[in-house]
Structure 1
Amino acid sequence: MRECHTPNIPSFSALRKKQEMLARDIGIKSEHHTSSLGNHFYMNHPAKLLALICSLRDAFPWLNIICLQDWANPLVQSFIHVYPEVAGPVSEFWQAGKWVSEIDLDDLSPMWADWENKRNSHRHFYIKELAQLSDGTYVVPLRWVTIDNVVHVDVQDVDCRDTPQIKFTEYSPQYSMPHPLREKAQGCPIFRLRIMPWSDDVSGNVSKQYNAHTNMYVTNFNLPHQKLQQEYFIRFASTSPNASSSEQFVALSEDCVPGVWHDAYDCELEQGILFEIIPHVLPADNPQQSETSSHIGMAGSLGCRRDLTGGAKVHCETNEGYHSLYQPGIPREPETTIQIIRWQFWMACLGNKSDVDEAYTLTGAAHQEHLSNRDTRDPQLNNSSCKGPERVALKTQIKHRIQQDLWDWVVQQPNEFIPLPENDPLKLGLDLKPGVHYNVLLDTQGVDPHRDTPGETLHTYLLGNDKYVWNDTTKGWDNKKADLFASRLQSSSIDSLSIPPPCSRYVVQYKNSLVGKHFKMLQQLGIFHLHGLCTPLVFDLWKATGVLGAHLWFPEIKDMDSYLADLEVLIGNLLDIWGLIDPNRLLVKEKLHVMTHLVDDVRRFGPTILYATEIFECWNAIFRLCSILSNPLSPSHNIAVTLADMERFKHMVSGGWWKIADRRYIRAGSSVRSFLTSSPELQRRLGWAEKSSISSAIKRQPATWSSTLPEPQPIGSIWVHCKYVVAQSGDFCKPGFWVFIRQGASEPFAGRIAKILAKDGSTMTQHNTVVIVELFIVLDIKDTRLNMPILVPCTTGATSLAVKPKEIMLSFNVQHDRVSCKCRTETVPVRQERVVTNRTELQTAHSPEQRFILNMHALHNAHFLREVLPRVLTAPISYLQDRVASHHRFAAQLRETGPAKRAETQAKTKATRAKNKKGKDVLASAQAERQKAEQDDTVQDVNSDMEVDED
């Protein structure tokens, strides 16, 4: 209030009352839910959260998710998309395969209007309705799409030349005209939004003591990835220490029921709109994704949630069974999963404990009553003449009757947990119900929980493959090798890597406790420092890991077919090397098989960074702050209310509108609306960052041209050194950075920035700023050890060049070829508090030889590098020529070692059980002796008391 210069500041109680009133007016209400298992929790529904975004216009014009006036505006269209993009590179969800080609036409946004022309904005064009083009011909729009941010339409031609009655030439059946949603819309614009729900178990404590909560957040996919990576756009939905994610998804699915439309207000058009919510993808870590897709996880023999690959160990050791682990198998389908669940319920009603162990208690009482208890069972069973096959048949008949009775009881359980029409067969208790008897996501519009749980880079690759590689490399290291690796790693160049310094001493000291950021750093730098520290096969594994990781972090894919072909080769190489090192690894590490599905994931959803979960993991810090200050007696309600208040506050300071009692729409005053834009601290706390304008250079250190380059310049010219220049890619390029440069239509060439100069006393622009670059040549052959391009100084012609800042394309990472140049490791004194101590440590001393390796494992600008470099230097090559034959050899090894290992495991298990049984027997004997001694003492005390009484 002081920031807004508010007079007459109210009391704290008055402030609270005002906040409650605003919360009611804005409409974010934490709703109470009871799951089918009886767990209670509260949810802030996504429909209300997304509806608020419609009026965040003044503070953030790019936030107009539901502001229809700007959808056709090219200045805003680059940020907001409700239609699939059918041309150009793939860098967003709406450009990838699922949104473009898989989604049914009726699940896309059904209408479009000319929002730029206000006189025609009331004319709404719907799909599957007859429309006339400007040339007088007739068509039927099938879907609205965009090409280069301009709205287009796929149409079906209509033939009306021969007969006066219009008829369709190719499409059947006939369309229903007018579109059924016209009546629903009543003149309002109507659209479909796609969301990404995320759920996982999170600790509610800041300390190490784990306080288990299951959280659910959502994001809106109609915003680009650049915005979704800001915490501002993460929407909290629910949390509970009791209800699982499957139970919370039931409440979330209420907003995603087909035909349920939510209303919002467009403050620019000053009218209401309608929107429908459809989930699109379900990212999470692997255990959570198994739960999301109703999969048993690694406890089952078919360990993949995506397909039916796997089986018994004996089957996996066959040639066919083992080879299947290296490729996607027969996909799982929701309908089949539901049928399996239905069968499990049916078998549980039969009471067969060996089939469904958990369901036995449900039917045990019924079997006791109808089969075992002589007083209550069927009278025929009490007849002594009923023997043999007749008695067995009678018992079977009674069991089936019990099974049917229990099934009827199960399917007629209370229906208050799911909203269903009165005449729905599920409502009448004729079948199992989603959300009550099985996972509601198996029957939710828009998602297939098997296919739409894509492999995620953090948990599947960094904490999966990278962790396995690191552990296999370091498990045999002694202190000497660890220190040597640490000294080499610390000497790495991190220019253009977008990572902090390696902290190599910490990495080797706590090698078994590393997190994702450490593995991301090792993935990019580790290969350059492992010579002499691992076997050749493990070294090849590091190379395969690094180049595959660089491909997985592509932010943009221009040629999808070529990218997927390369990705398939790189994944195959990685798995093949694992098979050479340890064939059994593919059987016990399911994350390795999950990587075979990445090809399909990228084709359907786009680059893997789009569904990375790091931003959700970061947002957990906000949840924890709310958790530790919440009421422990009602954590779900208290946290939901707190975060609903935060959404209300974000809505108000962002310039949002809301409806008051007299149905007028209002918003906060100008001082409140300017609070966010004028307060960097508030922006930081809300997790919002606006793209800032960056000058291309900063002045420092005046100098003459002659001291910089020998080329003649006008007498008296004074130049200043600059700190950095901004490349075409947006990189900050400083002196010492490696860059690619393109002058005019010539081929790009490589160089290292020596100096950045600008004329003194003038405004720095592209015309009076020059970049002095040392020229290098990229050889047309790769380094045989690292399989990466080689950079050497240019020895013919000019060795340096002055270029314009706009000619710098991008920066890239380069490492000194320490092996070929024979760099040494020296022992140097350690500095502490700027004082040289008597302690020493290893440090790498680089030789002066100019031979460098272009780091192809770097994640930053990996996609640009592969565009600039010749294909011969970047094309992946299969590690094994005949993969199938190699896999058969691996399977043959397993058939030799597998049975022996299983026999050894069984023997150990048997010995452990015997030992445990013996220990239990000894403990039981000791307890019996103790109890007997206590009884003897009690009897002796009683006898003594009786003797005293007699005396």
Structure 2
Amino acid sequence: GNYYYVNEIAMVRSGNFVIPRRWKLRDGKELWADAWPVTPNNDGTATYLIDDQRLVNIKAADLILNYFDLCERRQLPPCCACLLERSKHHLSAMPNSLHRLAQGEPLYSSWITVWADDVSANRSKSWNKHWNLYITHGNLPRKLLQQEFHVHFASTSPNATVAEQFAAMKRMIEASQTDPIRVPSPGATEFSRFRLFVNDADADNPMQSEECGHIGSNGNYDCRRCRRGGSEAFRVTDEGYHRLFEAQEPRSAKETLSEVKAQVQLACHGVTKHVSTRQTDTGVKDSYTQHWIDMLLKRARELKAANRSRSEEDIAKELMEWVIQNGDNIYNPFLQVPGFDPSRDTPIEVLHTILLGVVKYGWHMTHTSLSEEQQSIFFLRLQSSSIDGLTIPPIRASYLWQYRNSLIGKQFKQILQTAVFHLYELVDSNKFDLWKATGSLCALLWFPEIPNFEEYIADVKVAAANVLDIFAKIDPSKISTKIKLHLLDHLPEDICRFGPIIGRSTELFECFNAIFRFCAILSNRISPSHDIAIQLADQEAFKQRITGGMWQQTDGQWVCASPQVCSFLGKHKILQNHLGWTPLMYLSFKDPGTARAVPQVRRVEVAWSSTEAIKSLNPPSHEPLSSWIPGVHIIAASSDVCKVGSWVFGKSPFAVDKSIAGRIKQILIQKTGSTTYVVLEAFEVSSACHAVFDMPVLRLRQGEKSSITLLAKDIHFIINVQHDCLYAGCSATGSRPRMQEREASGVNEQFIEHKDVERYIINMHALHNAHMLRTILPRALVAPVPYIQDRYESHKKFVKPLRQAYNEKQKKLEAERLKRAAEKVAKAGKTGTAPAQGSNVAESQSPVGHQGDAELGEQDKH
């Protein structure tokens, strides 16, 4: 068939012309394209205009003639002469130069995500450092990328750094762009080609800084993404502190590489101070090139020592010749990959930046401020949390209390979604506001899809600003010292570039480290990285064969495993678990309304006249004596499993295009038919948010108990709801035996008894279904509200104590300098020798004022 390339004119079935710009799959099925329309010019010249200012969507199936077909049939539309200059660069790109690379075969682009980190190869706590490189295929749907099966080992070494390993991968990537990799299509009747590109580099923040050639979070300019920061003297000024809350001028790989080259050239002169000063002033210090910089500095000094009469310029010229001969080999390969900019393509990662950053900071500030009695109350309340609809494991409050200083990501997820409901009256208003702001931001960041992009970006900006402002209000120094807080300013940019930020989570790569360790412990330790690579390569080959992949035999023939071998994986769950593979049948959405009946041994059929449905406000019509089977759970439209007692949103039976909230009271499955009903205890969403928690409140519909009956397929999704214990006055009045190994221990423990007050709070900090919840509720109840209106004036107030502390520190340093100078003069007087010129003079440092006009005092940190 015909092959259609981007940037080439093509004809669609309607007879119109378009220029495809980007191919995309809609709903994971149909192939579409964003295209420029080529429209007739209405000036009677029978010419066409290329409208490159707007995009139209076209189905790939509607394309009928490609560029070469149009040329052969002489149907290529002529461009308007008056706009020929404007269209020249479009026409000059035709035919697409990729035709030559493809050699008449389909050509695809494969975008890979690179993950790198230092990992211990030991299963014990003994550290055995290895640098690892893994990749995933970014073209796959995200539901597949969340499987361990699709993480692929690339390389490991206890000696070679990540950048050194990536240099080899870079050569492979560049080779594929000049000589695309040729592979057989299914059935091996045709061949296709593909090129490799780097989509993004995921890692923790220190590793991402290393990939960017950045000085790190301890530098004056501590952001790998932008030029935020400055000296400490500047940071404590009004303007300098306010700038810490905003993304500054962005960095780029091109500018970073240029700066690194300038540092190399400077190193050829042999003065270490000049290089280190430049690194401090720019925030660029590439760890890969630093080895060569140190070598050049040492070599320059050696050459000078060997011949004192030799000029500095002559030595620098000789060393630069060596630099030119080695070319790009001495520079960070991450900065030289075509189409990849590590300054922009190292997105914020929710595990290390959000859970182990923002949430962890808030948690530490909170639990350390609580007395032992307050901690006991908090964890008692925490244990009473409802977790239905949160998709988290059961909360073990006693464990969280015991290990409160060393929690991990999944435990911070538990606390993040529930803590705010239990901290009232235990912490001050600022910390309570911090938990509300953090929960609101995190719920937005866990969106798997974005219904309204502009509205979503605006919400993220407000929510991130609220978190930063409250942190600054509690502890102004956090904004200056914690780079993870500043990275929140880059969230909108990352979301625009990569989509929902939860898709960039690295938890899956961290899990794959366990596979790496299993391979590492079987090494003979003589050549560990080689042994590990061989074992993991064998696993990759096995995964390819058992999923129907093809390989080339020694005679050049392409073959694949038999159907019996390929079907083996789908039948054996043990193998699936070992490989981290989930069958597609479990990933696809289940049929809404599917129900599971109560097991046969406990099943008691009920007559329709005895069901809860008959008492509802909208009872369906059925024979009174017809038999119905109670259900355990149903599948909602969102594929959520909704049990009896779950809180859900469903289709309202009283108004068109409206939804209603309720708690599942009964599930009824028709014995002789296919109808399934869900009886809900009806609740209504209040018109205003809770005065304390700023979340929507659920109250009895019209102030009285009532129920409604819905078809099971009309249940939209599950939500998490917490009892309003603050309003009801719930306390630890209950007592029960403490269970150990499923048996009563004989020791009683207290627990929170919820009072019979039907008032509940919709948990807006719940990560599961956060996007659906905000779509279905009124905008006024879910839109983030700015915590501070005039941020600049507030930041001026926040920075005052920092500036005062800085000035006090400078005064002490100045006094110490004067004291040392005086002691030096006195000592020189006793010995009868005059001090060296200027040795008794201390550089004076004036304190920093509001605008920070003073010169720098303390030596800038690297």
TM-score per shorter chain, which class?
A: 0.7 to 0.9
Partner in structure 1 of residue 649 of structure 2: 740
Change (3 A) 1:870 1:153: closer
Aligned to 1:867, the other structure's residue is in SS state helix
**Which residues in structure 2 correspond to 1:133-144 (within 5 Å)?**
133-134=12-13, 140-144=19-23
- Which residue does the alignment assign to 2:320? 407
1:580 and 1:331 map into 2 onto residues whose CA distance is 27
TM-score by length of 1: 0.75
Q: 1:216 aligns with which of 133, 146, 165?
A: 133
1:332 and 2:248 equivalent? no
1:172 pairs with one of 60, 66, 88: 88
Structure 1, unpaired ranges of 5+? 1-120, 379-394, 414-431, 912-951
Percent identity over paired residues: 39
- Aligned counterparts, 1:87-236, within 5 A: 121=1, 123-134=2-13, 140-145=19-24, 149-152=30-33, 154-155=35-36, 157=38, 167-169=78-80, 170=83, 171-173=87-89, 174-175=91-92, 177-236=94-153
Paired position in structure 2 for 1:501 = 394
| Structure 1 position 177, deviation (Å) | 4.6
Matched, 1:353 2:272: yes
Q: Is 1:486 aligned with 2:379? A: yes
Residue in structure 2 matched with residue 260 of structure 1 by the alignment: 179
Aligned length: 745
* Equivalent AA in structure 1 for residue 798 of structure 2: F
Alignment-mate amino acid for residue 316 of structure 2:
Q
**DSSP 3-state at the match of 1:702:** coil
TM superposition shift of 1:162: 5.1
Partners of 1:579 and 1:439 in 2: CA distance: 36
Report the equivalent of 2:714.
807
2:680 maps to 1:773: yes
What residue in structure 2 maps to residue 573 of structure 1? 466
Which structure 2 residues correspond to residues 272-671 of structure 1 after superposition, within 5 A?
Answer: 272-356=191-275, 359=293, 362-364=296-298, 366-367=300-301, 369-370=303-304, 372=305, 376-378=307-309, 398-413=311-326, 432-433=327-328, 436-671=329-564
| Contact 2:268-2:315 at 8 Å conserved across structures | yes
What runs of 5+ residues in structure 2 fail to find an aligned partner?
A: 48-73, 277-289, 616-620, 820-862
The alpha carbon displacement at 1:533 in A equals 1.7
Structure 1 residue 479, shift from structure 2 partner? 2.7
* C-alpha distance in structure 1 between counterparts of 2:535 and 2:147, whole Å: 20
> Which whole-Å CA distance do the structure 1 matches of 2:350 and 2:94 have between them?
46
SS in structure 1 of the partner of residue 192 of structure 2: strand
Cα distance in 2 for partners of 1:511, 1:909 equals 44
Find the residue that maps to 1:841 and give its secondary structure.
strand
Alignment CA distance shift 1:802-1:196 (3 Å): same
Residues 139 and 893 of structure 1: CA distance in aligned 2, closer, same or farther (over 3 Å): same
RMSD (Å), alpha carbons: 2.6
- Closer, same or farther in 2 for the Cα pair 1:841/1:183, shift >3 Å? same
Aligned position for 2:694: 787
The CA deviation at 1:635 is 1.5
Partner AA of 1:821 in structure 2: A
Distance 1:562 1:162, change over 3 A: closer
Pick from 584, 595, 609 the counterpart of residue 696 of structure 1: 595
C-alpha distance in 2, partners of 1:343/1:604?
Answer: 30
Asked if the contact 1:829/1:838 (under 8 Å) is kept, the reply is no
**Which residue in 1 is equivalent to 2:638?**
729
Distance in 1, matches of 2:397 and 2:803, equals 41
1:894 to 802, 809, 817: 802
Counterpart-to-counterpart distance in 2, 1:225 and 1:291:
27
Per the TM alignment, residue 477 of structure 1 is displaced from its structure 2 partner at its CA by 2.7
User: CA shift at 1:831, angstroms?
Assistant: 2.7
- Pair 1:869-2:777 in alignment: yes
Q: Is the 8 A contact 2:447 2:770 kept in 1?
A: yes
**Higher Rg:** 1
CA contact (8 A) 2:209 2:216 kept: yes
SS state of the match for residue 567, structure 2?
helix
Segment of structure 1 superposing worse, 557-566 or 715-724:
715-724
The Cα shift of 1:498 comes to 0.2
* Distance across 1 between alignment mates of 2:811 and 2:384: 49
Task: Name the aligned partner's letter for residue 4 of structure 2.
Answer: F
Q: Aligned equivalents of 2:796 and 2:543: distance in 1? A: 59
By relative contact order (CA 8 Å, sep 6+), the higher-ranking structure is: 1
State whether residues 199 and 215 of structure 1, in contact with CA within 8 Å, keep that contact through their aligned partners in structure 2: yes
Alpha-carbon spacing, 1:800–1:253, altered in 2? closer, same or farther (3 Å): same
TM-score of the aligned structures, taking structure 2 as reference length: 0.82
Cα offset, 1:702, TM superposition: 1.5
Q: Report deviation, 1:255.
A: 2.3
1:833-852 correspondence to structure 2 within 5 Å: 833=740, 836-837=744-745, 839-852=747-760
Amino acid at match of 1:595: L
Displacement of 1:244: 1.0
On the 8 A contact 1:133/1:139 being kept in 2, the answer is yes
The alignment status of 1:758 with 2:758, answered yes or no, reads no
Match of 1:684 in 2: 577
Secondary structure in 2 matching 1:831: strand
Contact 1:127–1:142 (8 Å) recurs in 2: yes
Shift of 1:835: 5.6
Which digits, 9 at most, give the CA deviation of each residue in 1:158-209, with x for residues without a partner?
8795589964334113425543332332221111111111111111111111
Q: Distance in 2 between matches of 1:612 and 1:555?
A: 12
Match of 2:64 in 1: none
CA separation in 1, counterparts of 2:360 and 2:325?
Answer: 48
The verdict on how the C-alpha distance between 1:830 and 1:224 changes in structure 2, with shifts beyond 3 A counting, is same
AA at the equivalent of 1:849: V
With over 3 angstroms needed to count, the CA separation of the structure-2 counterparts of 1:520 and 1:292, relative to structure 1, is: same
Q: In the TM superposition, what whole-angstrom CA distance separates every residue of 1:253-309 from its partner, at most 9, and x where no partner exists?
A: 122214231111102471111110111111111001000101111221000000000
Paired residue secondary structure (1:125): coil
Contact 1:130 1:139 in 2 (8 A): yes
- How far apart, in 2, do the equivalents of 1:734 and 1:876 lie? 31
Task: Describe the SS at the equivalent of 1:299.
Answer: coil
Q: Which amino acid aligns with 2:273?
A: S
Letter paired with 2:502: I
Letter in 2 for 1:881: Q
Task: Report deviation, 1:343.
Answer: 1.8
Task: Confirm or deny: 8 A CA contact 2:8 2:94 kept in the other structure.
Answer: yes
Amino acid at match of 1:152: A
Question: Residue type of the partner of 1:154?
Answer: A
SS at match of 1:126: coil
Q: Describe the shift of the 1:401–1:156 C-alpha distance in structure 2 as closer, same or farther (beyond 3 A).
A: farther
Distance 1:342 1:595 in 2: 31
Secondary structure of the 1:539 match is helix
Q: Which moved more, 1:484-493 or 1:822-831?
A: 822-831
Q: Does 1:883 align with 2:791?
A: yes
Q: For residues 351 and 127 of structure 1, do their structure 2 counterparts lie closer, same or farther at Cα, with a shift above 3 Å needed?
A: same
Q: Does 1:818 align with 2:711?
A: no
Mapped to 2, the partners of 1:909 and 1:462 lie a distance apart of 44
Matched residue of 1:252: which SS? helix
> What code does the residue aligned with 1:723 have?
V
Residue type of the alignment partner of 1:534: V
Code of the residue aligned with 1:232 in structure 2: it is: F
Moved more, 348-357 or 586-595: 348-357
Q: In 1, are the aligned partners of 2:719 and 2:769 still within 8 Å (CA)?
A: yes
Shift of 1:868: 0.7
Q: 1:641 to 1:910 in 2, by over 3 A?
A: farther
Q: Which amino acid aligns with 1:742?
A: K
The one-letter code of the counterpart of 1:125 is: Y
